[in-house]
Structure 1
Amino acid sequence: MKRPAVARTAARPAAPADPADRLDPELLRIGWVLILGAVLAQLDTTIVNVGVGSMAGGLGASLTAIQWVSTGYLLAVALVAPLSGWLIQRFGAKRMWLASVAVFVAASALAGLAWSPGSLIGFRILQGLGGGLMQPIGQAIVARLAGPRRIGRLVGVLTMPVSLAPVLGPVVGGLIVHGAGWRWLFYVNVPVGLTALILAARIVPGDDGERQTGLRPDGLGLALLPPGLAALVHALAQAGGGLDPLQTGLLIGGFLLLTGYVVHALRTDRTPLIDLKLFAGRGFTLASVNTFLLGAALYSSMLLLPLYFVEVRGMSALEAALMLAPQALGTAVITPLAGKVTDAYGPRAVVVAGILLTIVGTVPFVLTDGVSGTFVLVGALFVRGVGLGAITPPNVAATYTSVQRSQVPAATSARTVLNRIGGSLGTAVLAVILQASLSGAADGPAGVRDAYAQTFWWALAFSALTLVPAAMYPKHAPGKG
């Protein structure tokens, strides 16, 4: 007698999905407009690298000086990102996103007009201040509109272009430098940024009703953290020939300021710029250490690779860009699959495999005996790209394994800061090492090749270091062991 009832129950059509759970077209349109800002910000972390040689020649600057075009941008992003949460609450997310894009667009136009290394670096820092706010504020708007039941799927749809942007940057940059000159690396942001501004102003809903006008920023934190980071990065970036009294003072001062911030952040009743209590969670701590090291390995290698193809292989900017395309292709192929593989095999296996692939893909660049032909380098870069694409999704997921939902914005801010600080330090250190290696190298192509090989050994070491925290990631995906 029960069997027919069961059959009728099984045949009954499923209840229609809750409309609030669907990724409706309007939400996707808003997400794509906001993600355009994040892609611009991420693309600009590496797009200038192919043009570094042209900028140095055009403005009469050394490599050590012109690398601050990259390092200054990354450092500015790291310094301003912790303020995003307070700015959202104080002035409103939509208003601050529009303001940050406007700053980014204006700074891009000014950078294209730069007349000296100092002016270019200054405008790049201003550009970084806008870029550093676009991504976290855009993510906050997307999270607010999507709600907890849709945020995972929406982020899954929008993550790939943001993850791909830093790897694709040198390719796009090479095409621009070849076709229009290095100044267009900055001018190209203007029409895209203006388009994003117009679309966002029209379709992103306002949030003025959620503003908290009485909030005050963490003043002491602002006085300690940004100056401490700036002093530390600047001192390390200039340490290639030894520390003079000024650099020694900056290094000591930077450490003292950062130590003071640690004491303040652990004791303050206000919301600190970076909430150090997040590091009480083992998963967050491991992912944060790896995020810092991965930033150093990724962004520094993105500076080295284009220079290698131009200076060692004698290629044009266009040829160097095309050589980097397989790396971007590898990242594009694997990134959409990395999350599913993480669910099946756990974050540890995926992250470790990704790091090992990046190491394997870097090995041909440290060889100095000429065996690494063009075909080998193309294959190596594709392998590197697959490794980079495999690392990002499980590392992002591991960041949130030990934080509460209310701590997610603070965790996102901390992750952005650590990644960009790692990138700025790694880029600065490798630029100094490369400059010193070139200065001490024998004359001729062999000397230049040896100098780059020595520097790539350091890039390889940065990647190898990331294996240490990665080996301590959870073995199983959440809920599977």
Structure 2
Amino acid sequence: MTMTTTPDATADKLDRGVLKVAGVVVLGAIMAILDVTVVSVALPTFQREFHASYATVAWTMTAYTLALATVIPVTGWAADRFGTKRLYLTSIALFVAGSALCSAAWDIGPLIAFRTLQGLGGGMLMPLGMTIMTRAAGPDRIGRVMAVLGVPMLLGPIGGPILGGWLIETASWHWIFLINVPIGAVAFLASLRILPKDQPRPSESFDFLGMLLLSPGLALFLYGVSSIPGAGTVAAAKVLIPALIGLALVVGFVAHALRKDHPLLDLGLFANRNLAVAVITMTLFSVAFMGSMLLFPSYFLQVRGQSTLNAGLLLAPQGLGAMLTMPVAGRLTDKIGPGKLVLGGIVLIAAGMGAFTQVTADSSYVLLLGSLFVLGMGMGMTMMPIMSAALASLVDHQIARGSTMMNIVQQTAGSIGTAVMSVILTNQVQHSPAATVYSAVTQGLVPVKQVAPSLLAQGRSALAGAFGHTYLIALILIALCIVPALFLPRRRIEKAEQQPEDVAVPVSIH
């Protein structure tokens, strides 16, 4: 008995080789994800340094996002054609080169251009990392490796504002980019040494028409969506025109992909029930949760008057809650499937979000931080088990395409959620004259001495109410995630049988 159970128990754990691969991938993911949130806190600094408007400096974020949307669809094909290791090393090199150039930018225009180069590298890091880890660990341990990869995805939005605020306050804005250079160098050397060798394999022809439809389609759609907060309405021409053109190109890609044998994005993967349900769940979840993530630091900054550094520190309980549940959820996903865990996670997120729907200008920090902790626990039980549900039942040659699809869904839905929540909050503020005045004061547009203390107090309370209403919309969207989550597997996912020609080459760890 002992002889037969021991190997299984050993194989069930993440061995040293897989942990090394996971460490390399997490290092690259942290670098890319932190960069997004670090730059977000530097926008006011860019305004002052380059004497530019907020709409102009916001392009440092938008250009990065659009570059991601352009390159992610190509990642699945490129990984099959050139190998994941080669492509991963190229991605790190592009990201580090873009970071170094950003730190040397002399004006806002060059900075935006260099951010685009960063995005081209950063866009491939997450889908490639998911592919590498999934292949290294195998289907029986995918929940655990997804839990490892989930750490930077959760800590990025929390650690980014802290790191960005500290670097800007103690050094200069250049260091939010320069810090990527040594991290990237370590990640590159570690990847070169540790990641499995690429195995040459026949590749299907590249879908040029699919790329010409999908990549610009996603970029134009996300550009239109990201323009919603600035326009204040969906009906504005600068929102509708690019969004509709982008949507038309995406629809054109779908029609093309359904007819082509080897399209850029394999829509045939939706025949896999687990992946289809996971995509629907991830779409709703990303719209609701990623959008609301934007609101937490904004509340602490605008309503409570905290500094950027303090606002980042106040978000730490969310990361701690996620770190508590994520490893456990990863192990349980491999054993009992993701369904029950995701449902439990959504309930916890809803409970934490519910407290923020009642937020006031003077809500107890104990209540707020406790709610963030509960919300983080729910997050640790939700996002990566959904990813596991999508990828665990795919055969080896489908993994790169599946991870690419999930990253497109997450990026697109997250951008929609961020835009939607921003517009809801902005409209709520605009409906209250007192909140409008107070918001202008917090942004430095109106000197505080010119506003009566009674109006400031009234505006602060009204602004808190606007946040509470926006959190209520997020709560409703979170609750809607329960519907598709009910169809996620509630027992261990069995990997599909591979056809003889699709048998994976064994992964060797160097």
Instruction: Look up the SS of the partner of 1:196 in the other structure.
Output: helix
Instruction: Look up the SS of the partner of 1:48 in the other structure.
Output: helix
Matched, 1:224 2:239: no
Residue 186 of structure 2 aligns with which residue? 195
Deviations 1:147-192, CA, capped at 9 Å, x for gaps = 7488648726843534433344344444434433544332221110
For residues 394 and 69 of structure 1, what CA distance do their matches in structure 2 show? 32
What TM-score does the superposition give when structure 1 sets the normalisation length?
0.84
CA contact (8 A) 2:131 2:399 kept: no
Residues 462-473 of structure 1 correspond to what in structure 2 (within 5 A)? 462-473=477-488
Residue 473 of structure 2 aligns with which residue? 458
Residue 256 of structure 1 aligns with which residue? 248
For residues 53 and 364 of structure 1, what CA distance do their matches in structure 2 show? 30
Matched, 1:127 2:118: yes
Q: CA deviation at 1:325?
A: 0.6
Residue 279 of structure 1 aligns with which residue? 270
Matched, 1:210 2:200: yes
Gaps of 5+ in 1: 1-9
For residues 366 and 159 of structure 2, what CA distance do their matches in structure 1 show? 22
Give the 3 Å change call, closer, same or farther, for CA 177–403 of structure 1 in structure 2.
same
Query: Match of 2:206, as an amino acid?
Result: P
Instruction: Look up the SS of the partner of 1:210 in the other structure.
Output: coil
Q: CA deviation at 1:217?
A: 2.0
Which 10-residue stretch deviates more, 223-232 or 374-383?
223-232
For residues 33 and 195 of structure 2, what CA distance do their matches in structure 1 show? 21
Deviations 1:258-295, CA, capped at 9 Å, x for gaps = 1111111111022x222111112332112101212222
Q: CA deviation at 1:329?
A: 0.4
Residue 385 of structure 1 aligns with which residue? 376
- Count of residues in correspondence between the two structures: 464
**Which residue, out of 326, 333, 338, partners 2:329?**
338
Q: CA deviation at 1:375?
A: 1.1
Residue 363 of structure 2 aligns with which residue? 372
CA contact (8 A) 1:237 1:428 kept: yes
Matched, 1:82 2:80: no
Q: CA deviation at 1:477?
A: 4.0
Aligned-residue RMSD, C-alpha = 3.3
For residues 278 and 415 of structure 1, what CA distance do their matches in structure 2 show? 11
Give the 3 Å change call, closer, same or farther, for CA 312–430 of structure 1 in structure 2.
same
Which 10-residue stretch deviates more, 147-156 or 379-388?
147-156
Matched, 1:235 2:224: yes
Matched, 1:419 2:414: no
Give the 3 Å change call, closer, same or farther, for CA 108–73 of structure 1 in structure 2.
same
Residues 58-69 of structure 1 correspond to what in structure 2 (within 5 A)? 58-59=49-50, 68-69=59-60
Query: Match of 1:424, as an amino acid?
Result: S
Which 10-residue stretch deviates more, 35-44 or 286-295?
35-44
Residue 161 of structure 1 aligns with which residue? 151
Matched, 1:184 2:175: yes
For residues 156 and 262 of structure 1, what CA distance do their matches in structure 2 show? 29
Q: CA deviation at 1:298?
A: 3.4
For residues 430 and 60 of structure 1, what CA distance do their matches in structure 2 show? 28
Query: Match of 1:255, as an amino acid?
Result: L
Q: CA deviation at 1:417?
A: 0.9
Query: Match of 1:327, as an amino acid?
Result: Q
**Which residue, out of 82, 85, 93, partners 1:102?**
93
Give the 3 Å change call, closer, same or farther, for CA 280–241 of structure 1 in structure 2.
same
Residue 489 of structure 2 aligns with which residue? 474
For residues 294 and 153 of structure 1, what CA distance do their matches in structure 2 show? 18
Deviations 1:107-135, CA, capped at 9 Å, x for gaps = 22333344555544443333222112123
For residues 435 and 113 of structure 1, what CA distance do their matches in structure 2 show? 34
Give the 3 Å change call, closer, same or farther, for CA 162–428 of structure 1 in structure 2.
same
Give the 3 Å change call, closer, same or farther, for CA 450–165 of structure 1 in structure 2.
same
Query: Match of 1:464, as an amino acid?
Result: A
**Which residue, out of 428, 444, 448, partners 2:463?**
448
CA contact (8 A) 1:299 1:426 kept: yes
CA contact (8 A) 1:351 1:394 kept: yes
CA contact (8 A) 2:346 2:482 kept: yes
Give the 3 Å change call, closer, same or farther, for CA 65–470 of structure 1 in structure 2.
farther
Give the 3 Å change call, closer, same or farther, for CA 407–25 of structure 1 in structure 2.
closer
Give the 3 Å change call, closer, same or farther, for CA 211–285 of structure 1 in structure 2.
closer
Give the 3 Å change call, closer, same or farther, for CA 328–182 of structure 1 in structure 2.
farther
Query: Match of 1:356, as an amino acid?
Result: V
Deviations 1:28-73, CA, capped at 9 Å, x for gaps = 4344223311222233343434444544555556666655544543
Q: CA deviation at 1:314?
A: 0.2
Residue 446 of structure 2 aligns with which residue? none
Matched, 1:357 2:372: no
Query: Match of 1:91, as an amino acid?
Result: F
Q: CA deviation at 1:363?
A: 2.8
Matched, 1:289 2:308: no
**Which residue, out of 279, 297, 305, partners 1:306?**
297
Query: Match of 1:335, as an amino acid?
Result: M
CA contact (8 A) 2:148 2:327 kept: no
Residue 7 of structure 1 aligns with which residue? none
Q: CA deviation at 1:242?
A: 4.6
Residue 73 of structure 1 aligns with which residue? 64
CA contact (8 A) 1:88 1:211 kept: no
For residues 143 and 476 of structure 1, what CA distance do their matches in structure 2 show? 19
Give the 3 Å change call, closer, same or farther, for CA 67–292 of structure 1 in structure 2.
farther
Q: CA deviation at 1:98?
A: 1.5
For residues 222 and 340 of structure 1, what CA distance do their matches in structure 2 show? 37
Instruction: Look up the SS of the partner of 2:315 in the other structure.
Output: helix
What TM-score does the superposition give when structure 2 sets the normalisation length?
0.80
CA contact (8 A) 1:274 1:410 kept: yes
Give the 3 Å change call, closer, same or farther, for CA 116–452 of structure 1 in structure 2.
farther
Which 10-residue stretch deviates more, 47-56 or 286-295?
47-56
Instruction: Look up the SS of the partner of 2:363 in the other structure.
Output: coil
CA contact (8 A) 2:89 2:191 kept: yes
Q: CA deviation at 1:420?
A: 1.0
Query: Match of 1:200, as an amino acid?
Result: S
Query: Match of 1:471, as an amino acid?
Result: L
For residues 116 and 40 of structure 2, what CA distance do their matches in structure 1 show? 15
Q: CA deviation at 1:210?
A: 0.7
Instruction: Look up the SS of the partner of 2:37 in the other structure.
Output: coil
Give the 3 Å change call, closer, same or farther, for CA 303–122 of structure 1 in structure 2.
farther
CA contact (8 A) 2:22 2:133 kept: yes
CA contact (8 A) 1:75 1:421 kept: no
CA contact (8 A) 2:143 2:331 kept: no
CA contact (8 A) 2:147 2:330 kept: no
